[in-house]
Structure 1
């Protein structure tokens, strides 16, 4: 366990350094006038003139004259100091905390809906394999899995926001603003999650010890509670944990579609505006989250797996 923890800590340090260096070099090599893009993001495209671009160019040259830009950035990185946004002028960490909280809130609500849909349907289908519900869920899952997130999101916007006027198509701050983006992510995950839980449940109910418990006369609900759920926990937790990692890492499209003020949405805008500090801070935060969440999933599986508990 401690060996695994040490490996994950080393992996996190490597991810921070690698992602930071990669984003720094990629931003520097992007085509176009960086000063013009920063000025456009700061003042607006219709207000950019030669003097505004010249001011930004002077700011960039002043920062480079402070020493090697790369070495200066590495020194700040060790102190978790990402500086100020080149567009807004606000401290990057202040903006990042807000954006990260919004991304985690969206990912958490999406995962909650996924669990709400997936566990009862998957367990029921696994306990009644090849039944009508199992076959219906198979075809419905295949259909939902084949639809891209942006297409599913657009369909939900047209149906629930424009046609029925039940939910807002964009915005944040209220519970109803969570519904459309969370539902978009949850439906896509449920399409796969139902099959994962169904297969895990089917493996458990088909095992010898489970059938032996049934022959002893235990009620199906008691049998599932005593002998099924613990053996389901490890594969199901692994899948849900990995999906939460994916939700945090992969919400860029959904956040952009629904104008959700998360870290993915901010990263896209920062790339267009050449806001280097925001790009670096966002990319490294996502990389660290990936390592941290994977570490938590590994620890949870180690504790819940009966074979791991006996080892």
Structure 2
């Protein structure tokens, strides 16, 4: 198992380096000059050139990349062009709100989708199974921004049960978390149903029933653990989708998270902040999937380490 983990760590490092290169290059091919965006329309060419020199964007691209790598290894992503504060500190200040939203959405996904998928598999062909199929179709088809607006209209404008935007208590978290989790619940519940259907057809499940075990013991003690293996993998992959979807959700609900910061920083060509955000997001995604891979082999010992 140690060799398996080491191999996955090396693969994760390669992926993370690819994200670093991507985050550097993608901003350099976008039209626009950060020096021009920082100055007024009345700025002279000399003033623009001085700002470009102070930002280091007048250097050759390979020099900028080497400086960028040095900054990453030292934990220094530079200073935000807009706020003149350390980019890493700025991003880390906004991340807790995004993680709070993503964690709430992930919790809703697990609590709702796993039991729903398992029950739909056990009651195959029933109204619960039909309901799940319809919900899965709708949940993965509806755009996040449209669902968020509809929830605001229903629960905030008409019923006045929940606030429309902002961050505060639990009531502020409900609508954004449900909006972000809707598509994930639909996907994970469908996968849980398929996995559970495959497991309950296995010989050891029939043997457990033949031994006189109750249906609850068979499902919870024997079927559920094996059915969860592919679900855990999917949940790990959905971490990236949750962080990506949080950008739209935060915009709709005015949630003060890193998604709003990223959108504004891209518009302002604030290289240090965007690069810090991309690298940190990639790090979270890579580490999460590494943990999921380890959990997967614990849940299913049949997975080869070779």
Please give the alpha-carbon distance, in whole angstroms, between the structure 1 residues aligned to 2:104 and 2:46: 45
**CA apart distance, 1:70:** 3.0
Compared CA separation, residues 54 and 181, structure 1 to 2 (3 A): farther
Q: Which residue of the partner structure matches residue 176 of structure 1?
A: 171
Alignment of 1:50-69 (within 5 A): 50=42, 58-64=50-56, 68-69=63-64
Q: Which residue of the partner structure matches residue 275 of structure 2?
A: 280
Please give the alpha-carbon distance, in whole angstroms, between the structure 2 residues aligned to 1:175 and 1:24: 38
> Is the Cα contact below 8 Å between 2:192 and 2:228 reproduced in 1?
no
**CA apart distance, 1:34:** 2.4
Q: Which residue of the partner structure matches residue 45 of structure 1?
A: none
Please give the alpha-carbon distance, in whole angstroms, between the structure 2 residues aligned to 1:153 and 1:9: 37
Q: Which residue of the partner structure matches residue 156 of structure 1?
A: 151
| 2:114 pairs with 1:114 | no
Q: Which residue of the partner structure matches residue 248 of structure 2?
A: 253
Of 130, 138, 143, which aligns to 2:133?
Answer: 138
TM superposition score normalised by structure 2: 0.89
Alignment of 1:143-222 (within 5 A): 143-222=138-217
Secondary structure at the aligned position of 2:181 is classed as helix
> Is the Cα contact below 8 Å between 1:233 and 1:305 reproduced in 2?
no
TM superposition score normalised by structure 1: 0.88
Compared CA separation, residues 249 and 217, structure 1 to 2 (3 A): same
> Is the Cα contact below 8 Å between 1:231 and 1:306 reproduced in 2?
no
**CA apart distance, 1:18:** 3.1
Compared CA separation, residues 15 and 249, structure 1 to 2 (3 A): farther
Secondary structure at the aligned position of 1:237 is classed as helix
**CA apart distance, 1:272:** 0.1
Secondary structure at the aligned position of 1:74 is classed as helix
**CA apart distance, 1:261:** 2.4
Please give the alpha-carbon distance, in whole angstroms, between the structure 1 residues aligned to 2:7 and 2:52: 38
Of 215, 220, 223, which aligns to 1:225?
Answer: 220
**CA apart distance, 1:66:** 8.7
**CA apart distance, 1:282:** 0.7
Please give the alpha-carbon distance, in whole angstroms, between the structure 1 residues aligned to 2:65 and 2:126: 61
Compared CA separation, residues 212 and 10, structure 1 to 2 (3 A): closer
> Is the Cα contact below 8 Å between 1:237 and 1:297 reproduced in 2?
yes
Please give the alpha-carbon distance, in whole angstroms, between the structure 2 residues aligned to 1:242 and 1:32: 34
> Is the Cα contact below 8 Å between 1:84 and 1:92 reproduced in 2?
yes
Compared CA separation, residues 10 and 208, structure 1 to 2 (3 A): closer
What is the CA RMSD across the aligned residues, in angstroms?
A: 2.6
Unaligned runs of 5+ in 1: 40-47
> Is the Cα contact below 8 Å between 2:163 and 2:171 reproduced in 1?
yes
Q: Which residue of the partner structure matches residue 265 of structure 2?
A: 270
Please give the alpha-carbon distance, in whole angstroms, between the structure 1 residues aligned to 2:46 and 2:246: 36
Secondary structure at the aligned position of 1:269 is classed as helix
| 2:95 pairs with 1:100 | yes
